[in-house]
Amino acid sequence: MSATRNDATASRTAAASTPFGLDGADTCVRMISPTGVFEPNAAAEEFLPYLDRITEADHRRFYRDMVVVRKFDTEAANLQRQGQLALWVPSHGQEAAQVGSAYATRPQDHVFPSYREHVVGMIRGLDVVDILRMLRGVTLGGWVPEEHGNFHLYTLVLASQTLHSTGYAMGMQLDGSTATGNPETDQAVIVYYGDGASSQGDANEALVFAASYQTPQVFFLQNNHWAISVPVARQSRTPLYLRAGGFGMPGTQIDGNDVLASFAVTAKSMDDARAGHGPSLIEALTYRVGAHTTADDPTKYRDPEELAYWVARDPIVRFRSYLKGLGVEQHFLDDVDDEAADFAADSRRRALEITGPEQSVIFDNVYAEPHPLVAEQKAWLERYEASFDEGKN
C-alpha cells in the first residue's frame, strides 16, 4: 500500500477532502474511475496482474450478477412491503464489493457471510430464494453450506461469524487442507462483516486469534458508512484497514464500488491465505444506498446530498460505462436487464410458494441425541393439538 494515514489528524483531513465521508481518495486501490474509465491508481499497481486471470466473459458475468442481484434485492424489499417477508436486508450499492470478492474465491474455499451478501451466495451456488425462506420466517437457517458452495448460514448477531470463520480456518490448518503448495486444492476462508461489526469484541478477538495462529483467511470488511443510523466516524477515528496492522496482518483499502479492484485484491489475499502466508484484512469503501433493513428509515438521519454523492458513484453504472468503453454491445446490456427482470419475477413467484414447516420443527434438532424434556414437550403438544380435532368429531 502506498499512503498510510495513521493518525487521527490525517483521518480528519481525509474526511474533509471528500464531502461525504471517506471515499478513499488516493489510499484505496482503484482500477476503474467513478466515470467508468480504466485508470488504475498507484495503489492498484501490485494487484494489476490478478486482472489477467479474468476474461471479457468474466467481466460480462460480473455485470450480469450485479444487475440481477439489484433487481432481486428490489423485489425482495417489495415482498416485505407487501407483507410476504418478515424483514429484508437490502444490498443496493454494495454489489461491486460483493461480486468481485466472491469471484476471487475458489470452489474449495469457505465463505462466512454476515446477512447482506446475497450475491455472494448466488455466485457460490446458493438459490437466493433460500435466503427468502429465512426472512419469510419458515426457517432459522435455510440451506446446507456444504451443498451450496460452502456458503455458510447468515449470522444475525454482529461479528459472531468472524470467530466461527477463524475457528474453521484453524481447522483447515489442523487437518492439513491448506498451505500444501497446491492452489487447486489448498483451502482458505473469507468472512464478511461491516463497519458497525468492526466495533464488536468478537471481530477484534477473531483478528487476534487469526493473527496468532496465522489462519488462512481474509477478513472482508464492507464499510458501507452506516451502522443503521450511526455513521462510521462513531465506530472508528482511523480508517478501518489501518487497524489490521495493529493486529499484525496486512490491511488494504479498496474502492468497494469498483468490481475489478474488489476482485484483484481479494484474489491476491486469498492466494496468500491458501499458500500459508496468513490472514489479511480488506476494507471495501462502499455505501448502503438503501435502508439498513426494511424496518429502517434513513431519511431520518442521512443527508440527501450524501446519498446523491454516492449514487453518482454507483457500482453498476460505473461498470456499465467501463463495459461500453470496451465495446460491449447494447443488446448485451438489454439482455441482462431482461434476465434480471425475469429472475426477480421468478424469485417473487417462488417466494410466494414457500410454505411453513410442520410444528414438529419446534422440537427437531434442538439436540443431536435424545433429550427427555424436549421429547416430552413434543409429545404433549401433539396430544394437546389433536385434542381439538377430537372435540370436532
**Interface ranges with other proteins (CB under 8 A):** 139-141, 144-146, 152-153, 155, 157, 160, 162-172, 174-175, 201-202, 205-206, 208-209, 212, 361, 364-369, 371-374
The beta strands (E) that lie in the chain are given as 110-112, 189-194, 217-223, 226-227, 230-231, 251-255, 280-285
> Shortest gap between Cβ of 156 and other proteins (angstroms)?
9
**Rounded to the nearest 5 degrees, what angle is found at the Cα of 165, between the Cα atoms of 255 and 2?**
30
> Shortest gap between Cβ of 387 and other proteins (angstroms)?
19
Q: 201 vs 327, which CB is nearer to other proteins?
A: 201
Cell of 357: 414447516
> Shortest gap between Cβ of 372 and other proteins (angstroms)?
5
Cα–Cα distance for residue pair 129/127, rounded to 1 Å: 5
Instruction: Judge residue 236's burial from the number of C-beta atoms within 10 Å of its C-beta, 0-12 exposed, 13-18 middle, 19 or more buried.
Output: middle
Q: 16 vs 373, which CB is nearer to other proteins?
A: 373
Q: Any residues with CB less than 8 A from the CB of 339 and at least 6 apart, and which? A: 64, 67, 68
3-state secondary structure of 282: strand
Q: How many CB atoms lie within 10 A of CB 298?
A: 17
The type of residue at 4 is T
Using the structure block, give the residue that is written with the C-alpha cell 492452489: 183
Q: 38 vs 367, which CB is nearer to other proteins?
A: 367
Q: 139 vs 293, which CB is nearer to other proteins?
A: 139
> Shortest gap between Cβ of 217 and other proteins (angstroms)?
10
**Rounded to the nearest 5 degrees, what angle is found at the Cα of 90, between the Cα atoms of 147 and 164?**
45
CB–CB of 195/235 below 8 Å? Answer: yes
Q: 197 vs 316, which CB is nearer to other proteins?
A: 197
Measured in whole angstroms, how far is the alpha carbon of residue 93 from the centre of its chain? 12
3-state secondary structure of 221: strand
Q: 61 vs 164, which CB is nearer to other proteins?
A: 164
DSSP category for residue 239: -
Q: 81 vs 371, which CB is nearer to other proteins?
A: 371
**Residues facing 227 on adjacent strands:** 230
**CA 291, 117, 279, 169 torsion-angle sign:** positive
3-state secondary structure of 151: strand
Instruction: Judge residue 52's burial from the number of C-beta atoms within 10 Å of its C-beta, 0-12 exposed, 13-18 middle, 19 or more buried.
Output: exposed
> Shortest gap between Cβ of 171 and other proteins (angstroms)?
3
> Shortest gap between Cβ of 169 and other proteins (angstroms)?
7
Q: 165 vs 294, which CB is nearer to other proteins?
A: 165
> Shortest gap between Cβ of 287 and other proteins (angstroms)?
29
> Shortest gap between Cβ of 89 and other proteins (angstroms)?
17
DSSP category for residue 32: B
Q: 102 vs 207, which CB is nearer to other proteins?
A: 207
Q: 309 vs 363, which CB is nearer to other proteins?
A: 363
Cα–Cα distance for residue pair 288/50, rounded to 1 Å: 27
> Shortest gap between Cβ of 117 and other proteins (angstroms)?
17
> Shortest gap between Cβ of 160 and other proteins (angstroms)?
5
